[in-house]
Structure 1
Amino acid sequence: MVAADGVDAPVEGAANGYRGDAAVTDGFELAGVPDAFQRLWTPHRLAYIKGGQDQVSSEETCPFCRAPRLSDEESLIVHRGTHAFVLLNLFPYNAGHLLVVPYRHVPDYTDIDEAETAEVAALTQTAMRVLRRVSHPTGFNLGMNQGATGGAGIAAHLHQHVVPRWGGDGNFLPIIAQTKAITQTLGEVRAQVAEAWPPRGDDAAPPEPVS
């Protein structure tokens, strides 16, 4: 809104929305015109976007190597296997976005041996079964991004994505605003998935029938 003298006039209510810091300075509302959009402020993602690859220079700085040394709750681990483990993605595309990770710090799918390959595959299948029981997705995205140019957020340590999908979960937010609305906290999802995970040694068991 522009006043008669050509100076931008304060807009009533323009500074009422949370934007991550103070919206009123020295008694004056900041510039802006209200619209119909709500904003999800996610400044924590900036470190991941700007420096994810550079931060992992060795096993000592690798979050996938560090995770098994922490408690399951701290590291978001839902299952620990013999050669690989399963944990929630800290930056999920959807609630229940899991990562299947070998313990060994290797970057490429061709670097893991037969036992590791078999367990990663079995844990991926179990992850799908568990997510179907817990949250009833209608589809999945599975994949490994190989190398930084292949889209891997942490290229130095191999990991397989298991992303549950529902009809209508891809809307304008990720496309236009690069923002994803997640319906549950990571702690809630970790507890649900860990509780539903089959006992160790029974990872490949079929799901219980749904009544």
Structure 2
Amino acid sequence: MPIGPDQPPMQDGAPLPGTPDGFERLWTPHRMAYIDGEAKPRSSDAGADCPFCRAPESEDADALIVHRGDRCYVVLNLFPYNPGHLLICPYRHVPDLTEMDTGERHEMMDLSETAMRVLRAAKRPDGFNLGMNSGHSAGAGVAAHAHQHIVPRWAGDANFLPIIARTKAVPELLADTRAALAAAWTG
């Protein structure tokens, strides 16, 4: 049977694998590390198993750290919802806001304010989502180490992909985002 412009190549009545079918594909194999839990600690202990305890031991560019404060630091989320998705983490390994000391809580809020200003200057978002997921059942990927999310938002940035495909298209490399935000933070 000849193949027309609207008929894909067939074998046994089914389209051949890889045959164009009218759908665009957005491959995000890097997300499998998150889905499989490769980046999640196996215990709630501080140290080598906790990504938020390990990050400050590395060079800023390697760890994607944008800014270091006295009690907390600002780092890019490895699995961002949007470009510029930041996390503010205390250096100390504590599970949530109730275990943070007053200085850590105050610096976290001060860094959140600065993060919003930096993101406005560098990325020009229309708004923000700020929040902390406390505990596994609340959605915390790393429940043992407190961290606050600062997510820049743009009009129309939510589309069908996260809802239908459980995939988020992030159009910028993390290293490029970190460099722009780190420069804006100190500039």
TM range (shorter): 0.7 to 0.9
* 1:86 match: 74
Q: In structure 2, what is the equivalent of residue 37 of structure 1?
A: 23
- Are 2:63 and 1:58 equivalent residues in the alignment? no
Report the counterpart of residue 169 of structure 1 in structure 2. Answer: 157
The 3-state SS of whatever aligns with 1:82 is coil
Q: What secondary structure, in the 3-state scheme, does the structure 1 residue paired with 2:36 have? A: helix
- Could you state the TM-score of these two structures normalised by the residue count of structure 1? 0.78
Unaligned segments of structure 2, at least 5 residues? 1-7
- Deviation for aligned residue 1:40: 2.0
Write the letter of the residue equivalent to 2:34: Y
Alignment of 1:126-145 (within 5 A): 126-145=114-133
Pair 54,73 (structure 1): closer, same or farther in 2 beyond 3 Å: closer
- The Cα shift of 1:2 comes to 8.5
C-alpha deviation, 1:53, in angstroms: 4.5
> Cα RMSD between the aligned structures?
2.0
Query: Is residue 125 of structure 2 the alignment partner of residue 120 of structure 1?
Result: no
Higher Cα Rg, which structure: 1
TM-score, normalised with respect to structure 2? 0.88
Structure 2 distance, partners of 1:181, 1:55, is 28
> Aligned in 2, Cα 1:144/1:48: closer, same or farther, shift over 3 Å?
same
- Give the whole-Å Cα distance in 2 for the aligned partners of 1:55 and 1:168: 37
The one-letter code sitting in structure 2 at the alignment partner of 1:8 is G
Q: How many corresponding residue pairs?
A: 178
Measured in 1, the distance between the counterparts of 2:108 and 2:163 equals: 31
Tell me if the contact between 1:100 and 1:161 (Cα under 8 Å) persists in the aligned partners: yes
- Shift of the alpha carbon at 1:137? 0.3
**Equivalent-residue separation in structure 1 for 2:94 and 2:87 (angstroms):** 15
